[in-house]
Chain A
Amino acid sequence: MERINCEVRSNWKQKVEEIGFGFHTMDGAYWDETAYYQFSMDEVDVLEKATAELFERCLQAVQHVIDNKLYPLFQIDSKFIPLIETSWENDAPSIYGRFDFVYDGIHPPKMLEFNADTPTSLFEAGVVQWHWLEDLMPGYDQFNSIHEKLVAYWKYLIPYLNPGTLHFTCLKDNLEDLTTVEYLRDCAIQAGLTTEFIYLEEIGWNRYALAFSDEKEANITNIFKLYPWEWLVREEFGENLLIAPERTCWIEPAWKMLLSNKAILPILWQLFPHHPNLLAAYFDNTYLMNDYVKKPKLSREGENVSIFRQGQMIAGTSGSYGAEGYIIQEYSPLPLFDGNYPVIGSWVIGCEPAGIGIRETKTLITDNLSRFIPHVIE
């Protein structure tokens, strides 16, 4: 694994905007092609195997949580437990997830967390970095079969959906979220599905039909939402999710509430202690680790995360999370390449590893100021 500086395309903004990538610059550069990471095929195989292995372990962990009713550890409102259990028992459709790994090309990849419910950076990983490769190094390979796996998996899911249209939804006024959702819808259309887009704020509740409805007042029978379950359930329409839940198939399904919550990390460690791809994790610092990271169970974009070395805090972020409780995870420093700390985002589409995207920061905690860096296989 190497970080290699390179020339940017002179018309890179035009190039990425032509394919629909409008959020290349947010609070500073987000898409960054001044460098790329190069992996050997052996290293890619290691990442691919770790992703497949951890996904399997995560599913076993969900089963364990459900069998042992460990919901209080996740701070999940007990009203919504039947929704989680039913979606799990029915094997409700799921399309994707992204593991975040610490990886330096030498030691085994270690799982930092699993973004199982609302992962973003999908379009950058699946399309934008692929076009970059085609432009600059067309003879090279990339760990990236995200696009065709999305199309293939939507096709696979067709018999498992309710009859009718597949809706897609996200919040208004956010181009990053909208692009992610429209990319997923694009793939669904190519898979042969009939789709509609509706902003989350426009979803209706029909109190006669007891069903969610779209802007044309048709019942929503299937919907992909880029919106966290823990937010959905606490909002005004949250309890409506419990009324005739079979009428709407929500993707990602409700059981992803367990995997996207960092309470799953101590449970994984308890079930599979010393697994080579896991970091030690606990619900409190019972084992008096000196080097550890304290993470809120529901934190997003690195908010309210603190890193401790020798018991002293060396880095921390602010934010609005933490009331839900914290977990403690063994500290495994991100590797340093030319003053940059990369995190590998490894995608699962359906149940299979599908490729990676790399986000880089100058700080120890990967936050919303990270940059997306493309990669190649040597």
Chain B
Amino acid sequence: MKKSKVVNLVLVAGLLTACSGHKEQKPNSRLFVRGDSASQYTRSPHTGMGHFFYFGPFGNYHPYYGYRHSGYESSGFSSKAGSAHISRGGFGSSGVHVGS
């Protein structure tokens, strides 16, 4: 016999009901995910032209390379907020369906 004897499902049968309700909306725009959400407004080390201030969540100052953006634009979208040290939305931007 090649056939399955018993197929019991505990989850899948409930899927249709679960999916027929609220549907989350994806925004069209991309979301900027900060590199360091908890960082401060910060003074740079001394440069040839003196000091300057930069806002940590969006960038940082490197003594050799100078000011650089940190964080990234994400089109994967998370609807969840949580701890500052956990960023979300970094997966899921390459397609809307996986079928193969």
A interface vs B, CB < 8 Å? 17-20, 22, 44, 115, 117-120, 123, 126-127, 130-131, 133, 141-148, 170-179, 182-183, 185-186, 189-190, 199-208, 213, 215, 217, 226-228, 231-232, 234-237, 240, 260, 300-301, 355, 368, 377
Contacts and interface: CB of A to CB of B under 8 A. Distances in A.
B98 A237 contact: no
Contacts of A300: 98-100
Instruction: Classify the secondary structure of A's interface with B.
Output: mixed
Given A130-B3, A201-B77, A204-B88, A177 B97 contact: yes
Interface in B1-24: 1-16, 19, 23-24
Which among A119, A236, A368 has the highest number of chain B CB atoms within 10 Å? A236
Question: Chain B contact residues (Cβ within 8 angstroms of A): what range?
Answer: 35 or more
A127 B91 CA distance: 30
Given A144-B3, A205-B86, A20 B15 contact: yes
Nearest to B36: A207
A20 B1 CA distance: 26
A174 B72 CA distance: 26
Interface of B: 1-16, 19, 23-24, 26, 33, 72, 74, 76-80, 82-83, 85-100
Given A20-B14, A127-B9, A226 B82 contact: no
B2 A142 contact: yes
Contact of A174 (B11, B13, B88, B97): B97
Contacts of A206: 83, 85-86
The secondary-structure label for the interface of chain B is loop
Q: Which of A205, A217, A234 counts the most chain B CB atoms within 10 A?
A: A205
B14 to A, nearest CB: 7
A217 B99 contact: no
A29 to B, nearest CB: 16
9 contacts: A20-B12, A117-B100, A126-B7, A143-B2, A171-B97, A176-B97, A185-B11, A201-B76, A300-B98
Contacts, number: 171
A217 B83 contact: yes
Contacts of B88: 201-205
B40 to A, nearest CB: 16
A235 to B, nearest CB: 5
B27 to A, nearest CB: 11
B13 A172 contact: no
A170 B99 CA distance: 11
Nearest to B90: A237
Contact of B16 (A17, A174, A205): A17
A179 B76 contact: no
B9 A203 contact: no
A170 B98 contact: yes
Which of A117, A186, A240 has most B Cβ within 10 Å? Answer: A186
B71 to A, nearest CB: 9
Contacts of A205: 86-88, 90
A22 B87 contact: no
